[in-house]
Amino acid sequence: MYEEPYRWVEAVGNRRQYLDEQFKQGSPVVGVAYETGILLMTMNKGTPKLYEVYDRLGLGGMGHPADLEKLRFNLLEMAHVEGFNRSPSDVTGGRLVKYGIAPVIKQAFEEVFKAPFIVKILLVELGQKSGKDSFLTINYDGTFEEKSRYAVLAASSAIEQEMTAYLKQQPIASLEEAIGSAIRTLALGDRAQRHALEEGGEHGDVRTGSDQQPVDSETLYAHMRQCLADKTIECALLDRQMQGPTKYRTISLDELGKVLPGHLVTPLT
Amino acid sequence: MKHIMTLERREGPVDPMPKAPRPQEEGGGPRRPDTGSPDKDSLMKRMRKVDPKQAERYRQRTGE
């Protein structure tokens, strides 16, 4: 049936539609660079979505937890084999994505008789200096993008663009500023996804920031308070100031509570 | 004047797509290094011998 080229294109199109549908209720992921490191933030309902991959590499993902776990394990294996056989400095995000998981995801996506990976991945790599950090996003079809200051994952590319445009306007130098901006961006993304679900937009065809009123911080914090009724904020850092080769650490809710605005602390505790 | 007749050199039919020689046909030349992935099952064991700290971190990260 799929031997004819048209049928194959049609099958891939259907698959895209199916996958877009799967991400509609997922929580966005935000990665932001600040002066001394990188902050990763998302929301979860119990299953973690942020992980350490290697000494200077962190991972955030959205999608099916089983697929994310499978790809995370592949990445871990690849990073450690590479680090053991060559040297830890040879383990880079670019190599892991370009020669490692992106081709695997692409192949799974295009093999229309098999199940695709229902997953979007953000791999962050801490540079030796500020400004040398790298953010790699991989879409469910294996397409990857490389950025240097921030990156996000969301249900559709329109929402991702809206979140990125918001992040671009934020002055981010300290960890506190990074946390504040990440929370507001997360709220913006989640709010846009919910609106898209309510409107029943197809193929991620949602109203974006360009035709909407700019959202103020209070509205975003109010939305976040609402989200925190059934979800928890998950937060991790790649911190250049940490002693030793490993730079990854998670931020506990207590620690987060000290930085967050007072009205967001109550739903956390 | 003597004419020397030389026979025209003829080429035999050749294979338009010759196959690369197999390793045993190559003779004693250098071989391509084996770049296949190493045995992953024994990775932990080998890592523990060489760098116990790295092995510990691997275990933590995988959740083993």
Summarised one tens digit per residue, pLDDT across range A192-229 is 999 998 887 544 444 554 455 678 888 999 999 999 88
CB contact under 8 Å between A80 and B54, yes or no, is: yes
> Which residues in chain B (3-62) have CB-CB distances under 8 A to chain A?
37-38, 40, 43, 46-47, 50-51, 54, 57-58, 61-62
Report how far residue A171's alpha carbon sits from residue A24's, in angstroms, rounded to the nearest whole number: 29
pLDDT above 90 for A269:
no
Instruction: Give the closest of B50, B54, B61 to A76, CB-based.
Output: B61
Span B21-63, pLDDT tens digits: 565 555 566 666 665 555 556 777 787 787 888 888 888 888 7
pLDDT at A267 over 80: no
- Global pTM? 0.81
In the chain, the amino acid numbered A124 is V
Phi, psi of A27 (to 5 degrees): -90, 135
Tell me A55's DSSP state: T
Distance CA(A48)–CA(B55), nearest Å, equals 23
B59 to chain A nearest CA, in Å? Answer: 10
Q: What is the mean pLDDT of residues A115-120?
A: 96
Q: Supply the ipTM of this predicted assembly.
A: 0.73
Across chain A, mean pLDDT equals 89
d(CA A125, CA A88): 13
Interchain CB distance below 8 Å, B37 and A81: yes
Judge whether residue A173 has pLDDT over 50: yes
- pLDDT in the model for residue A209: 47
* Å between A236 CA and nearest CA of chain B: 14
Give yes or no for residue A15 having a pLDDT over 80.
Answer: yes
Q: What angle do CA A198, A199, A202 make, to 5 degrees?
A: 115
Q: Which of B41, B45, B47, B61 to mutate to test the interface with A (most CBs of A within 10 A)?
A: B61
The pLDDT > 70 percentage for chain A reads 91
B54 with A84: Cβ contact below 8 A: yes
pLDDT at B53: 84
Is residue A51 within 8 angstroms of chain B, CB to CB?
Answer: yes
pLDDT tens digits, A139-157 = 999 999 999 999 999 999 9
User: What pLDDT, on a 0 to 100 scale, did the predictor assign at position A127?
Assistant: 95
